[in-house]
Structure 1
Amino acid sequence: MKFAYRFSNLLGAVYRQGNLNFSKDGNSVISPVGNRISVFDLKNNTSETFPVSTRKNITCVGLSPDGNLAVVVDEDGAALLVSLVTRAVLHHFDFHKPVSSICFSPDGRKFIATKENVALMYHAPGKRREFNAFVLDKSYYGPYDETTCIGWTDDSRCFAVGSKDMSTWVFGAERWANLIYYSLGGHKDVVVGCFFEKDSLDLYTVSRDGTLCVWESDTEPNGLVLKKNRAKARPQQQEEEEEEEEDRVEGEEGEVIRGKTESPRNKDETKNVRYVQRSKHFFNKEGDFNNLTAAAFHKPTRLLVTAFASGVFHLHELPEFNLIHSLSVSDQRIASAAINASGDWIALGCSRMGQLLVWEWQSESYVFKQQGHFNNMAALAYSPDGQYVVTGGDDGKVKVWNTNSGLCFVTFTEHTSSVTSVTFTSSGFVVVSASLDGTVRAFDLHRYRNFRTFTSPRPAQFSSLAVDVSGELVSAGAQDSFEIFLWSVQTGRLLEVLGGHEGPVSSLCFSPVQSILASASWDRTVRLWDMLDSWQVKETLRLTSDGLCVTYRPDGQELAVATLNGEISFWSPQSAAQTGSIAGRHDLEAGRKETDKITAKQSAKGKSFTSLCYSADGESVLAGGQSKFVCIYNVKEQMLMKKFEISCNLSFDAMEEFLDRRKMTEFGSLSLVDEGDGDKVNISLPGVRRGDMSSRHFKPEIRVSSLRFSPTGRSWAATTTEGLLVYSLDASLVFDPYDLDLDVTPASIRKQLRLQEWQAAIILAFRLNENALKQEVLEAVPYDQIPVVSGSLPDVYVEKLLGFVAACLEKSGHLQFYMAWAQNLLMLHGQKLKNRSGSILPTLQALQKSIQRHFDSLSKLCDFNMYNIRYAAALSKQKGVKRPAEEEEEDEGLSEEMSEASLDEKMIL
């Protein structure tokens, strides 16, 4: 089995903090999610997360005007230059201080980054051939407090910087003679946004207390005069005096401009730029807490969007300040707002709720509305065909995600406490979830409703869940009463309460081939319960430590159990004998928390695997737990095959192995020194999952709560502190030939195609194993030759060809062609494939997933066309027949209903 899994996507989180950006065409939203960047395509309804990550959470993203480059800055000021075309990191840079905002000039030649009270102008990378992509041009000093926002003029000649000292500074991007700097007041709170009018130096500034100031300039942009033109007609001495007066210092790192006092002298004919406050407007406030938190301005339409801490956002038309409409999207603070290039769509991000909305203000409808789990994810499960993933979180929500689009399409909120386990039934249309609120609920994915609720006679907190192969039995284990409850899905009745465990039941798993339930408990046993023989204990497996997780191999011939001492043991269910063991404690490599007084090596001795999952072929097992690492072990060899580091985000706790010397003081670690009234710092207790929520500064701990392999075997997913991480096999980036020889070349393969030796060409293409070449050869085979070529293929290439057909069927538009390949391969080699059912199962499930997706989309279209044809036929029959007025009215009503139904179907499609 290949282990070249690469990061593919991040689900379950759509926005954390930072600023939102629209792509150049306005059809995609670029959102920072933790220390990664996600792109949501609003036209195709898909999401993608770049395989690029910073060391800490991202605070601001600057997008170039052409949409090809992005500058991403994290909390510490470390910046990455990312290509949005190739999704690769082009350059690393460090600002050494937190950066509040970053913005490219409209012409794309420069960009401004603001840190502390300085505005730094850099040459935009890619415009010149330079060794260093970040070349400092000028430093602008003016504000006395931290800078907050940046605004550019359309011609890139000037820019404005807002500050926390309630002032706005206008600077010249070039050496203008009549505009070096200009300071604007008028506000009584922090400036949130500053925007120039289109093709003008007129300025709008918005402050946190809900005040809008309109500033009018007496100079047009064309009226700015370059310094060198003005200096030609002056003596050298006067020029030197003016240089000193402007307090400009030139050094190696660029030019420094300090704003002090304006020159009282204005003897030259060129008049300095002046600003006058034309008007002042106030937003309607509901109270002192309703601060203005974000603002965006669309210059062509003069549309101003302002967002508030109460979840309300306003749309105003400037400069008349006419309210277009006001809407409340939630009761939480809106952290960021953005408008696309056409001015139709408005993106809003709520950091506390992890919510991202795109609102079309003209039609007053949502284009995009997604929200992740409010707290940590706790469990996940794949559907049998691999198309969907269901997740349960500590916020009590159950969400179902589409693996193709990466978006959530339904959320169930019936649970009132944390969801501990979720699973699909064998049909794939029912989701079952267990919760600490004492209920197990079944949800229908056809009608999106909770159709069954299973409860126990006495209140119990359910911590584990399992559904049998037939989908008729649901079992849940309680962590407080040490019992296992069995229900019937059909009737919803409680069938049996299984007692015998002497500790909390931590995990349950049904055998995929028999009606046998395996239960792991903290009492150091795994019990096998026979569902056909009065629900009696069939076997009891004695463990060396507390059982945390149990899972069956896909063929049901082996059990894997994770225990508290960090070991994974393998058992035979038939003989109840242990067949192997893996000591994985040292592979976890747990990090050191900030408040830990022991080393990471000592801390790792108390860590263990909390989630296990067999691969689709049963040859390896995936394990994760209280660490940032996920391990893949080979079951037969009992050795570590590969280890994945799921995160490098230092904003999480328990990430670093050693203490940071910069955080060490003479009194010890800075995290253990209380700067308050002298009380001791509370150290988190062992086993605490989330730390002290009441503390002033809280860092979540990195951990893996659940792992699952996709039924297709091409990917696996993990619920972590970051979200739902998906890793998949990207075969196009890996050169992995099979039985390679000197005569296996692209030239020889194409020669066989010209000779119409289809079988030889296919075999050579699969030996070279390049996807593009395999597709070229396969599509060159005539349609009528497919049965002949399929029947003459050697057995070793049948399985490979079937897997490739399944992959092509998912993306290609040649539906009938690849369906013919699949049908002939299965019909002609069915008996041989049946003998290798264990190894061929992932390929067949991948084929089923592709066919099912096409069936779902085509069936809707065919039904829609069939109804239209029937309606047209019925109308043609009724033409020329005279009918009473009542019948005509009834037919008109019927036609209106049919047209409305067709419109609804169009909307669905």
Structure 2
Amino acid sequence: MKFAYRFSNLLGTVYRCGNLNFTCDGNSLISPVGNRVTVFDLKNNKSDTLPLATRYNIKCVGLSPDGRLAIIVDEGGNALLVSLVCRSVLHHFHFKGAVHSVSFSPDGRKFVVTKGHGAQLYHAPGRRREFNAFVLDKTYFGPYDETTCVSWTDDSKCFVVGSKDMSAWVFGAERWDNLIYYALGGHKDAIVACFFESDSLDVYTLSQDGALCVWQCDTPPEGLRLKAPSGWRADLLQREEDQEEGEEESAVRGKAAPAAEEQQGKVKYSRLAKHFFNKEGDFNNLTAAAYHRKAHLLVTGFASGIFHLHELPDFNLIHSLSVSDQRVASVAINSSGDWIAFGCSGLGQLLVWEWQSESYVLKQQGHFNSMVSLAYSPDGQYIATGGDDGKVKVWNTLSGFCFVTFTEHSSGVTGVTFTATGYVVVSSSMDGTVRAFDLHRYRNFRTFTSPRPAQFSCVAVDTSGEIVSAGAQDSFEIFIWSVQTGRLLDVLSGHEGPISGLCFNPARSVLASASWDKTVRLWDMADSWRTTETLALTSDALAVTFRPDGAELAVATLNSQITFWDPENAVQTGSIEGRHDLKTGRKELDKITAKHAAKGKAFTTLCYSADGQSVLAGGMSRFVCLYHVKEQILRKKFEICCNLSLDAMEEFLNRRKMTEFGNLALIDQDAAEEGGVAIPLPGVKKGDMSSRHFKPEIRVTSLRFSPTGRCWAATSTEGLLIYSLDARMLFDPFELDASVTPARIRAALCQRDFTRAILMAFRLNERKLLQEALESVPWGEIEVVSSSLPDLYVEKVLEFLASSLEVSRHLEFYLIWTQKLLMVHGQKLKSRAGSLLPTVQFLQKSIQRHRDDIAKLCDWNHYNLRFALAVSQQRGLKRASEPPGSEEEADASVSDEDSDSLHLLGAGPGDTDGPRP
């Protein structure tokens, strides 16, 4: 089994902070999620997280006009130049200060960064390789307070910068003679956004108190004049002109130029109008705005969750709706002006709204609090997560979207699991209930309760899906229910501490329960739920899990050990010491280093790999450890997070933050942001102390391997992280020698030696050659070629077929390959069932997904044909009932009915994109 797992996707979190951006085609949305960036493909309904991360949470993202490059800046001023084509980092840069906004010029030659109380103009990085991709051109000063926003003109000649000092400044990107800078006032609060009108120097400025000022410029963009050079530049130009045109012409031109410049004055602005959003008198802070110049559409978001759509410059209200009760942190409009994106950082919510049809294109929201548990469906297509907010969400692993949310729990969810069929999700909660949810009808069809109120800390379902068990945290008991009847079958007593974990044996009717009383008990389901064995541990048990074949049991204890047991003989077979591998971080308020901190150094979640040879462990740390069970050694360590905006990330003590008055971390420097109240001096009682911010602590709460073994998932403070085997970036030859070349493979295909060509293609292990070799085999010879393949290559062919079924259009061809391989080599594969289980489950997942899609299409066609048949029968009955003299009227009515029915079927006149029966 390979262990080159790499970060693949981030689910469960769709927006944290920062600004939203649409791509240049308007079909994808770029959203900053913590210290990562997720791209939502709205046309294909997919989400993909870029394999890069910043040191702190992302503050702003600037997108180039062609959509190839992006500048990502975090809260610490660290910038990444990212290629969105190859999804890689091209350059690192540090702006030496907090950056508020980044904006490329429309021509893509420059970009502006607002930092502190000034703006910096940089040359945009080109497509050629450069030693320094960021070259500073000019630095502009004018505002007295921090800058907040920036916007460019269409011709890239000027840009406007907003500030917290209630002013906006118009700067020239070139050395214009009649425009160096221009200050615009008239507001009574900080500027939130400012925009230029299309093909004009007219400016719209919006302040936080909900005021809009319209500024009119007396000069068109064509009226800007370049400033005459002076100093050594003028002398150099003078020499060039003397050489080309002569001394007399240059002298005349030099005298005439100032006279023409004196006739035209400087650029001037005048306030044309001032509008207010809060006309009713209720004070509501404006927090975000976006403007589409071609459609003259202004979108504004407020702290109460309300957003307005106005048409400028007349300020006509188009829509006024509410997203939620939390502040709208970011607003973006796509290039066509049809879709509007809203980001709410308080809820972690992301919405894309089509304002003309008043419908949602995308509506996603993660867990409000941290995720606690996760479970893979048996086919690996879905992941169910439970959070402290009492919600159970089901995510699609292919698209990365949540398609159903269950909110029946009234308290935090502590555990989720799937039944063997994959259509039922069972969850336990601290509210004293265990609920079963149906994924066919999306409803809560069973609610299991205890005779006495209890807080359930874990849940487990047996392999048949008929029995549900849950452990109580306060009464130290285990409750057993029947899924069919919903009745309580038994209450298992015997533990003397809270139940921390439950797990059913996949092969036998045995339930293992772990508790804080330093024991693991094995309960026999077939023999009146009696305790068959009690495994004594050296410390409190925190997690328990069975191997996929049920022949081994792993237990994580509070002393950072993982012990392995033989459940049949109740004998310990091995142990792993993980104290030094976990490496918990030091919190900001700790006065000692992470090495000497004793709290949290223990694994709290365990998971076996699909083949049972390795175990994955995690806890209150940013590291996830993968151990080899038999050798009891560390195979690989994964660092799931490098975000310093979270707590418990640092390892050593920073003496610079320790003063004689205490730790500097006690001073909340971010209290004034996002609606908080700044408390400048000790003893000042003005302000809400509860509005102070806190840094969430990094931890891994749950780990699960997918049934296919190709990926594993972890719920952490960052969200739901997916790590997978990315074969596209990995060169993995198999028994390769110098005689295997692409030319020889194609020569074997021309000679119709298909078996030799397939074997050489798998030895070279290039996907395109593998696809070419397999698809060159005629479908009538597949059985012969399958029987001639060695047993060593059958597993590799099955794995390739499983991955190809997800993306290929040749569904029947690959299904024939799969059938022939399993029919010919079925008896030999049974002896290696344990190692082949992940491959077979991967194959089943791919086939099941196609089956679901085709089943929906067949049902759609079936209902359409029934509808067409009913319409034709109704038409025949109508003809039979009418008198013979009204045949022409009947034909006219029939033609109308036919056109209506065809329109309902999606195949009316002129309709070429609708579904066909």
AA in 1 matched with 2:768: A
AA in 1 matched with 2:602: S
For residues 164 and 479 of structure 1, do their structure 2 counterparts lie closer, same or farther at Cα, with a shift above 3 Å needed? same
Q: How big is the shift at 1:783?
A: 1.1
Secondary structure of 2:460's counterpart equals strand
Structure-2 residue corresponding to 1:603: 597
Q: How big is the shift at 1:425?
A: 0.3
5+ long unaligned stretches in structure 1: 237-264, 680-692
- Report if aligned partners of 1:166, 1:190 keep a CA contact under 8 Å in 2: yes
Structure-2 residue corresponding to 1:791: 787
| 1: CA distance, partners of 2:620 / 2:824 | 49
Secondary structure of 2:350's counterpart equals strand
Which sits farther off after the overlay, 837-846 or 425-434?
837-846
- Report if aligned partners of 2:515, 2:540 keep a CA contact under 8 Å in 1: yes
For residues 873 and 512 of structure 1, do their structure 2 counterparts lie closer, same or farther at Cα, with a shift above 3 Å needed? same
Secondary structure of 1:637's counterpart equals coil
| 2: CA distance, partners of 1:809 / 1:132 | 45
| 2: CA distance, partners of 1:806 / 1:152 | 50
| 2: CA distance, partners of 1:672 / 1:355 | 30
Q: How big is the shift at 1:893?
A: 9.9
AA in 1 matched with 2:732: D
AA in 2 matched with 1:670: L
Structure-2 residue corresponding to 1:214: 214
Structure-2 residue corresponding to 1:42: 42
- Report if aligned partners of 2:592, 2:653 keep a CA contact under 8 Å in 1: no
Which sits farther off after the overlay, 693-702 or 371-380?
693-702
Q: Does 1:322 align with 2:310?
A: no
AA in 2 matched with 1:747: A
AA in 1 matched with 2:43: K
- Report if aligned partners of 1:588, 1:604 keep a CA contact under 8 Å in 2: no
| 2: CA distance, partners of 1:323 / 1:802 | 60
Q: How big is the shift at 1:736?
A: 1.5
Q: Does 1:582 align with 2:576?
A: yes
Length-normalised TM-score, structure 2: 0.91
Structure-2 residue corresponding to 1:259: none
Q: Does 1:884 align with 2:876?
A: no
Q: How big is the shift at 1:127?
A: 5.9
Structure-1 residue corresponding to 2:254: none
| 2: CA distance, partners of 1:64 / 1:802 | 43
| 1: CA distance, partners of 2:360 / 2:476 | 47
Structure-1 residue corresponding to 2:453: 459
Q: How big is the shift at 1:284?
A: 3.0
For residues 19 and 450 of structure 1, do their structure 2 counterparts lie closer, same or farther at Cα, with a shift above 3 Å needed? same
For residues 402 and 891 of structure 1, do their structure 2 counterparts lie closer, same or farther at Cα, with a shift above 3 Å needed? farther
Match of 2:842 among 831, 840, 846: 846
Secondary structure of 2:586's counterpart equals coil
Which sits farther off after the overlay, 329-338 or 221-230?
221-230
Structure-2 residue corresponding to 1:190: 190
Describe the superposition over 1:439-461 as per-residue Cα deviations: whole angstroms up to 9, x where unpaired.
00000000000000000111100
Map of 1:476-875 to 2, 5 A cutoff? 476-603=470-597, 606-667=600-661, 669-671=663-665, 696-875=692-871
AA in 1 matched with 2:772: E
| 2: CA distance, partners of 1:762 / 1:575 | 47
Structure-1 residue corresponding to 2:255: none
Structure-1 residue corresponding to 2:423: 429
Describe the superposition over 1:852-887 as per-residue Cα deviations: whole angstroms up to 9, x where unpaired.
11111111112222333344445556666624379x
- Report if aligned partners of 1:289, 1:309 keep a CA contact under 8 Å in 2: no
Secondary structure of 1:817's counterpart equals helix
Q: How big is the shift at 1:71?
A: 0.4
AA in 2 matched with 1:644: F
Aligned length, in residue pairs: 868
For residues 127 and 800 of structure 1, do their structure 2 counterparts lie closer, same or farther at Cα, with a shift above 3 Å needed? closer
- Report if aligned partners of 2:906, 2:916 keep a CA contact under 8 Å in 1: no
Q: How big is the shift at 1:146?
A: 0.6
For residues 235 and 722 of structure 1, do their structure 2 counterparts lie closer, same or farther at Cα, with a shift above 3 Å needed? closer
| 2: CA distance, partners of 1:811 / 1:791 | 26
AA in 1 matched with 2:308: H
Q: How big is the shift at 1:21?
A: 0.2
AA in 2 matched with 1:293: T
Q: How big is the shift at 1:756?
A: 1.1
Describe the superposition over 1:760-800 as per-residue Cα deviations: whole angstroms up to 9, x where unpaired.
11111112222222111111111111111111111111111
For residues 235 and 505 of structure 1, do their structure 2 counterparts lie closer, same or farther at Cα, with a shift above 3 Å needed? closer
| 2: CA distance, partners of 1:460 / 1:303 | 55
Secondary structure of 2:263's counterpart equals coil
| 1: CA distance, partners of 2:729 / 2:792 | 24
Q: How big is the shift at 1:696?
A: 2.4
Structure-2 residue corresponding to 1:16: 16
Secondary structure of 1:268's counterpart equals helix
For residues 891 and 397 of structure 1, do their structure 2 counterparts lie closer, same or farther at Cα, with a shift above 3 Å needed? farther
Structure-2 residue corresponding to 1:359: 353
Structure-1 residue corresponding to 2:248: none
Structure-2 residue corresponding to 1:448: 442
Structure-2 residue corresponding to 1:63: 63
For residues 756 and 426 of structure 1, do their structure 2 counterparts lie closer, same or farther at Cα, with a shift above 3 Å needed? same
Structure-2 residue corresponding to 1:88: 88
- Report if aligned partners of 2:864, 2:905 keep a CA contact under 8 Å in 1: no
Secondary structure of 1:798's counterpart equals helix
Q: How big is the shift at 1:605?
A: 6.6
For residues 764 and 235 of structure 1, do their structure 2 counterparts lie closer, same or farther at Cα, with a shift above 3 Å needed? closer
For residues 818 and 303 of structure 1, do their structure 2 counterparts lie closer, same or farther at Cα, with a shift above 3 Å needed? same
- Report if aligned partners of 1:177, 1:230 keep a CA contact under 8 Å in 2: no
Secondary structure of 1:228's counterpart equals coil
- Report if aligned partners of 2:713, 2:720 keep a CA contact under 8 Å in 1: yes
For residues 274 and 832 of structure 1, do their structure 2 counterparts lie closer, same or farther at Cα, with a shift above 3 Å needed? same
- Report if aligned partners of 2:297, 2:311 keep a CA contact under 8 Å in 1: yes
AA in 2 matched with 1:884: S
| 1: CA distance, partners of 2:584 / 2:906 | 57
Match of 1:293 among 287, 293, 299: 287
AA in 1 matched with 2:464: S
Structure-2 residue corresponding to 1:107: 107
| 2: CA distance, partners of 1:297 / 1:180 | 25
| RMSD (CA atoms) | 2.7
Structure-2 residue corresponding to 1:690: none
Structure-2 residue corresponding to 1:247: none
| 2: CA distance, partners of 1:202 / 1:673 | 43
For residues 125 and 164 of structure 1, do their structure 2 counterparts lie closer, same or farther at Cα, with a shift above 3 Å needed? same
- Report if aligned partners of 2:584, 2:600 keep a CA contact under 8 Å in 1: no
- Report if aligned partners of 1:585, 1:605 keep a CA contact under 8 Å in 2: no
Structure-2 residue corresponding to 1:255: none
Secondary structure of 1:761's counterpart equals helix
Map of 1:261-410 to 2, 5 A cutoff? 268-284=262-278, 289-410=283-404
For residues 230 and 738 of structure 1, do their structure 2 counterparts lie closer, same or farther at Cα, with a shift above 3 Å needed? closer
Describe the superposition over 1:656-684 as per-residue Cα deviations: whole angstroms up to 9, x where unpaired.
111234423345542367999879xxxxx
Which sits farther off after the overlay, 742-751 or 49-58?
742-751
Describe the superposition over 1:460-491 as per-residue Cα deviations: whole angstroms up to 9, x where unpaired.
00000000000000000000000000000001
Structure-1 residue corresponding to 2:132: 132
Length-normalised TM-score, structure 1: 0.92
Q: How big is the shift at 1:292?
A: 0.5
Secondary structure of 1:225's counterpart equals coil
Which sits farther off after the overlay, 283-292 or 749-758?
283-292
